[in-house]
């Protein structure tokens, strides 16, 4: 079995579930050790710590590959499957502080 290749360095994007919430999110790593991340700039999802989230490993690998290769394959596949991926990160273009669906660039 192939080992998954993704990183959890500060600034990296990961695909996660937040514990107890049925929604797919894109988070950004704010601290590597211990791992902390944010899905929004302010509010309850601005400082997630271990136990608050579950990393979707295969999706994270694809998303990070897309970032590196400047493609949108992960978001396209999720859109085509009818799954909404959301985030509230300024680094992803969200400026109003609200959760927004992340759509592939066409």
* Residues of the chain scoring pLDDT < 70: 1-4
Confidence at residue 59, expressed as pLDDT on a 0 to 100 scale: 95
Q: What is the pLDDT of residues 57-84, one digit of tens each?
A: 999 999 999 999 999 999 999 999 999 9
Confidence at residue 41, expressed as pLDDT on a 0 to 100 scale: 95
* CA dihedral (54, 58, 59, 61) positive or negative: positive
């Amino acid at each position: 079995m192939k080992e998954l290749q993704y990183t959890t360095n500060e600034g990296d994007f990961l695909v996660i579930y937040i514990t107890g919430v049925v929604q797919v999110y894109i988070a950004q790593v704010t601290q590597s050790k211990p791992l902390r991340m944010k899905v929004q700039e302010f509010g309850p999802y601005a400082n997630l710590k271990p136990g608050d989230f579950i990393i979707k490993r295969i999706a994270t690998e694809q998303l990070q590959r897309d970032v590196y290769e400047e493609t949108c394959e992960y978001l396209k596949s999720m859109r085509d499957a009818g799954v909404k991926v959301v985030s509230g990160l300024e680094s992803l273009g969200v400026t109003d502080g609200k959760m927004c669906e992340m759509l592939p660039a066409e």
